[in-house]
Structure 1
Amino acid sequence: MKHLITAFILTGLLISCNSSDKTKTTTQETSDTETTAESLSTAIPKNLKAIETNEDLIATSLMAAPAESRAKSKVIGYNMAGEFVTLKEGENEFIVLADDPNKDGFNAACYHKDLEPFMARGRALRAEGKSSEEIFDIREEEMKSGKFTITPGATLHIYYGPNTTYDPETSMVDGAQLRYVIYMPWSTSASTGIPETPSAPDHPWLMNPGTHRAHIMISPMAKDKS
Structure 2
Amino acid sequence: MKHMITAFIFTGLLISCNSSDKTKTLLQEPSETETVTKSASNGIDKQLKAIDTDEALMATALMTAPKESRSGCKVIGYNMKGEFVTMKEGDNEFIVLTDNPNQDGFSASCYHKDLEPFMARGRALRAEGKSGKEIYDTRETEMKSGQLKIPSGSTLHVYSGANTLYDSETSKVEGAQLRYVVYLPWATSESTGLPKIPTASNHPWLMNPGTHRAHIMISPLPEDRD
User: Could you state the TM-score of these two structures normalised by the residue count of structure 1?
Assistant: 0.80
1: distance between equivalents of 2:117 and 2:123? Answer: 10
2: distance between equivalents of 1:225 and 1:123? Answer: 35
What amino acid does structure 2 have at the position aligned with 1:178? L
2: distance between equivalents of 1:84 and 1:168? Answer: 24
Unpaired segments ≥5 residues, structure 2: 1-38
Q: Encode CA deviations 1:6-36: one digit per residue, 9 max, x unaligned.
A: xxxxxxxxxxxxxxxxxxxxxxxxxxxxxxx
Distance 1:225 1:217, change over 3 A: closer
Residue number in structure 2 paired with 1:31: none
2: distance between equivalents of 1:158 and 1:177? Answer: 8
Residue number in structure 2 paired with 1:84: 84
Cα displacement (A) at 1:50: 1.3
Residue number in structure 2 paired with 1:140: 140
Residue number in structure 1 paired with 2:204: 204
Distance 1:40 1:49, change over 3 A: closer
Residue number in structure 2 paired with 1:159: 159
1:149 aligns with 2:149: yes
1:184 aligns with 2:180: no
Would you say the 8 A contact 2:49–2:168 is kept in 1?
Answer: yes
Unpaired segments ≥5 residues, structure 1: 1-38
- Comparing 168-177 with 179-188, greater Cα deviation is found at 168-177
Larger Rg: 1
1: distance between equivalents of 2:41 and 2:221? Answer: 23
What amino acid does structure 2 have at the position aligned with 1:185? P
2: distance between equivalents of 1:87 and 1:150? Answer: 25
Hey, which of these two has a bigger chunk of strand by percent? 2
Q: Percent identity?
A: 70
Distance 1:148 1:171, change over 3 A: same
What amino acid does structure 2 have at the position aligned with 1:90? G
2: distance between equivalents of 1:189 and 1:176? Answer: 29
- SS of the residue 1:46 aligns to: strand
Hey, which of these two has a bigger chunk of helix by percent? 1
